[in-house]
Structure formats: structure tokens, C-alpha cells
Structure 1
Amino acid sequence: MAFLPAAAVLIAVPSSTNAAQTPVQLQTARAFAVMAGSTVTNTGATTVTGDLGLSPGTAVTGFPPGTVTGTIHAADATAAQAQADLTTAYTDAAGRTPTATVATQLGGTTLTPGVYNSAAGTFAITGNLTLDAQGDPTAVFIFQAASTLITASAGTVTLTGGAQAHNVFWQVGSSATLGTDSSFAGNILALTSITLTTGTSLTGRALARNGAVTLDTNAIVKPTGALFISVPSNADLGSATAGAATVSAHLGDVTVTDTRDTPVATWTTTVSSTDFTTGGATPPETISKGSIGYSPGPATSTTGDATFTPAATGSLSSPRTAFSASDGTGDNSATWNPTITVTLPTDVVAGTYTATITHSVT
């Protein structure tokens, strides 16, 4: 009698849930650490890691003594396109539905992923604000300030629990000012202007649509993003009745999220498996991994403009490609729900069999 009551499979990479919010897509603006509409003005030894852009204005002053590790685009086609994409991103961030209304003063608080606004329409940080992703490196934080964002001197934003600066967005309806010696994280998308006062550091982007970006002996580092995979913690393939030839079920959603700052978005997911074995028998009964079939099926959801390609159905006797992306630009993601099919040996022994199915992405 063949009986397989619970063939549990789990992914042997850190599991994370999908972020409740998708990231704000910056498109070409993601290449910029600093972007302004009218002028970019610097005093002192500011360092900008990433591109610096200006459009439609033409005046970039203070470099040197400031340095830019990327390219300065002043009133060229690249800057104009980045400003257009910034406008789209700003509108997206402003249009998200808030998950909570919080106090104007964010200092001394800890927030988890979500979309936040304040009743007063402003945000201030005196002391430290902690953003806790709760173990999810794809978690998104969006702050909507109808008017201003102001940090006090030495105000800080601390990222914990896997939070990533590239997934933090500050939509500011007028202007943002970061106080002296502040340490800030996230992408500032301001309608008018952004001022970084003396000694302020920013892990993120200072992107102003219409006004100026003013700098003074600052360190600005554009986030580089990352490549993540999110997987189900376990799956039950169900049971097989006597004489059944196979047992089959969906594994659950597998999601790859790509936020890397690369010219072309390309990644490949590989899947492998162990044998299925019973836990109670001595020696344990085994169903070879060569009897395990993997069918990725089509993508159930995607973001971005990449070409997403599921691999052909095949055996997990050896590692094989599951899904891939190519020819995209900017952030992208794909989700699929693969089918696992186990071919049962004719002499299979009744019992509970488990295996570990591993997905990895490069």
C-alpha cells in the first residue's frame, strides 16, 4: 500500500515575506545621488557617490572643492529624463494609501514597514528614528509629508531588521532640511528644495524636482540595492492513495526582487533538491530526487520591464534553472508558483516523507 500523507518541502535559504508595499520606481533617476531643478550649490569638501544632475537649470557650483564619483549631468538629455522619472516617482509615492497616521515628531520612535503620514502634514526628527524591517530585506517604508521634513542637529535614522536605504522613500510636498551633523537614510523626493547643512551624511538620494539642492561638507552615498529571493517556509504535497503513481501540488509563491543599480537587469534562479526520506524508519525509506519533477509555470505577477522566462519542466536529479530575467532596466520582480510532482516507486513504503528544495538567485 502506498501512502504519502505529508511530503513537506522547504526552501533552504532565509525566508522572507513579500513587502506589503512595492518600491517606488525611480527608473533613470536611480542613477543619481543628487538631482535638482534650479541649482546645485556646494560649500566645502562634500563627496557625492553617484551621479549629480540638474534640469532645467544649468548652474552647478562648488565642485571642486566637492567631488562627484559619478557623472555631472547639467541640463542635458539624461538629466531631463531623470527629472521626468522623478516626477512620476514623486506622484506614485504621494498617491500611496497611508497605513498609519503618526505624530509629526518621529524621533524616539520605531516604525515597521508601511506608508506613513502625519495629521500636521510635516515630519521632524529630533534624536533617533529606527526603521525595523522585521527580517524582510525587501520591506518598503514610505513617508508622506504634505509640506516639510526637518531634522534637528545630530538627528539620525537607523535601519535595523534588514531594512535597506533604497527601500525608504520620503515624499516631501515643499522642502527638506537636514540639520547639522545629521545621519539620514532613504530617498528624499522633494517638490521644491533640499538642504543638507554642515556635516550631514545621507545614505540615499537627495532629489528635488523644481528647486535647489544646497550642500555643505556632506557625504552622500547612493544605495546600490540588492537581489533578494522570497520563498515559502514549507509546503504539504498531500497524500497518495494505494496504487497511485504520483503525488503533486503547488509549492507556493517564489519571488525574486531585483533592486540593484545595474545597466541591464539580468538574473537566474536555480533550484535543487534532496531525496525524500522518512523520519521514523531505520534505515529511512528514500524516494530519489530523480523522481521529483519541477514545473515553474508562468509568472503570476511581475514588475519592471525585464523579459521573464520560466524554464522547462524537468527532474531535480541535479540543479536546474527555474526562472530567469533579462533585458530589463531598473527595479524588477517576478513571482511564480511551481508545481512539484513526485513519481512514486512501485515498492514505496507507507510513511511521511520530507525533502528540502532549495532556490538560489544570481
Structure 2
Amino acid sequence: MTGCIRITRLLSGVLGFAGCSIGDATPIVATRPGPPPVDLGSAANYAILAKSGISAIPFSLIVGDIGISPATESLMTGFSQTRVIAYSTSQQVTGFMYAADMAAPTPAKMGAAIVDMETAYADAAGRECPDHLDDFSGLLGGNLLLPGLYKWNTRVLVMSDVTVSGGVDDLWVFQISGDLVVNYAVNFILAGGAQPKNIFWQVAGTVTLGTASRVEGIILCKTSITLNTGARINGRAFAQTSVALDKAIVTEPALQLA
């Protein structure tokens, strides 16, 4: 089981499984490490990756590179980009834009990045033994999220600000079986040194960020990601269909550790 380590409780001389109680004995020790990081591979070189398209309503801003495959550059819309052989540039993208129909070595590079994106999604989705299961019935707001593996068998609706608190090396993996919806002007707040590069959102449904909202972390989405007007991601947006920005911002985090 990937990333699943349970330390048993010592109960008055009786060894029991973590999370279980034997009689009225008092646990002496119960501990569990946080999840290991999700390896992004070459996908870590991009702020946005998608398979079928990336669209922007100006003026959006992407800090980092973006890429699509197997879709072609014609499906990167709203950027008014300029082709430079193996990549394109845009005033809305601080890095480069890549697509499957550009000159070599871009097609192979993009193909590898998409495979790595899908592998990362499968890794995050396959994590077992969650520390938290269906917390708050999928309705978040005013919560404090400590490091660990969280799983929801429903959609997750974020109604008001949420704090993600932990150290600089702590990790969070959020598994969501349905959609992720972040309401208008809702923010994820980092505390205690928590870093966006260590927060992973695995979403089987769609991701919708409301106007002026802000999400921290790397979004691995099975379908589409939509950032409404003024929404922001401090992290990465990886979608297995499309990513749409409406005067929105995506800022890649510090480089992933090897």
C-alpha cells in the first residue's frame, strides 16, 4: 500500500492495530508519518498542463511554462501568442508555450510530460489508509487542515477561508472523488511554513475556482479546471482535458525536490 504505514498501539501489554481499542486500556503510543510526496516527473517543469486545450480571457497571467498534448497550438486560445519554431511566447505567460504540433523536440517533450502528469494523478489517487475520511462531509469553511492524507467520497465545496498549517517539509494529499468547488473570494491560507509545492489535490471530477478565490497547491484533475475572474492558483494546474482562465493567475511554486 503506497505511503501507508500504521504504527500499532501498545495497550497494557497487548499489541493492537492503530485506530482500534482493546477494552479500556490506555494507548501508550500512536503515531503515523505524513504521506510521501507525489512525483511529478517532467510535469514539474510546467505551471499548466492539459490534453485538449488551454484558454485565457485577457489579461490572465501565468508565471511559468504551459503545454498541451496531444492537442495542437490552435487549442491554446486567448493568448495572442507568437510562434518561435519549437515554442510560442505571449505577454500573458512569463515562460514558454508548448504544443504537440511544434517543431522537435517539443512533441516528444510534451508527450513525456503528459504521461508523467497522468502517472502523478494515478499515484495520488491510489494512496491508501487515509488519515481523514469524509471530514466535514465535504463542506469546508473555517477549518484547519494539518499534514496528512485526506479522502472524500463526495464533492468538496469550500464555503469560506481554510488554513493549511504545517512545517516546510510537511505534505498534504487531498483525494476528492467528485468535484472541487471553491466559492467566491475564498482563500486557502498557509501557516507554519506550509508550502504550495507540498500540497497535492487529486480531483476525479471538475475543479471550479470562484471569482477572486485563491488555492494553494498542485491540482491534478481528471477532467477540467476553470478559474473564474480574478481566481488564483499558487501551484500548478494539471488537467486531463482543459484549463480555462478568466483574467486569472497561476504561479508555479518553487522547484520540486528531486
Q: In the aligned structure 2, how far is the partner of 1:148 from the partner of 1:141?
A: 18
Q: 1:217 matched to which residue of 2? A: 247
Count of aligned pairs:
207
Displacement after TM superposition at 1:25 (Å): 0.6
TM-score normalised over the length of structure 2: 0.77
Q: 2:98 matched to which residue of 1? A: 73
Matched, 1:36 2:50: yes
Letter in 1 for 2:131: T
Q: In the aligned structure 2, how far is the partner of 1:117 from the partner of 1:169?
A: 12
Q: How does 1:229-244 map to 2 (within 5 A)?
A: none
Letter in 1 for 2:252: K
Q: How does 1:98-109 map to 2 (within 5 A)?
A: 98-101=130-133, 102-103=135-136, 104-109=138-143
Letter in 1 for 2:156: F
Letter in 2 for 1:147: G
Gaps of 5+ in 2: 1-31, 81-89, 101-106
What secondary structure is seen at the aligned counterpart in 2 of 1:70?
A: strand
Give deviations 1:241-288, integer Å, cap 9, x for gaps: xxxxxxxxxxxxxxxxxx3xxxxxxxxxxxxxxxxxxxxxxxxxxxxx
What secondary structure is seen at the aligned counterpart in 1 of 2:141?
A: coil
Q: 1:127 matched to which residue of 2? A: 160
Q: In the aligned structure 1, how far is the partner of 2:140 from the partner of 2:174?
A: 11
The answer to whether the 8 A contact 1:132-1:161 is kept is: yes
User: Of 3, 23, 47, which aligns to 2:37?
Assistant: 23
Which structure has more strand as a fraction of its residues?
1
Q: 2:173 matched to which residue of 1? A: 142
Letter in 2 for 1:62: G
Letter in 1 for 2:49: M
Gaps of 5+ in 1: 1-17, 226-258, 260-330, 333-362
Structure whose alpha-carbon radius of gyration is higher: 1
Q: 2:79 matched to which residue of 1? A: 63
Q: How does 1:155-170 map to 2 (within 5 A)?
A: 155-170=186-201
Q: Which has the higher contact order (CA 8 A, sep 6+)?
A: 1
Which structure has more helix as a fraction of its residues?
2
The answer to whether the 8 A contact 2:34-2:172 is kept is: no
Q: CA RMSD in A?
A: 1.5
What secondary structure is seen at the aligned counterpart in 2 of 1:86?
A: helix
Give deviations 1:170-189, integer Å, cap 9, x for gaps: 00102101000001111010
Q: In the aligned structure 2, how far is the partner of 1:26 from the partner of 1:19?
A: 21
Q: 2:151 matched to which residue of 1? A: 117
Identity %: 38
TM-score normalised over the length of structure 1: 0.55
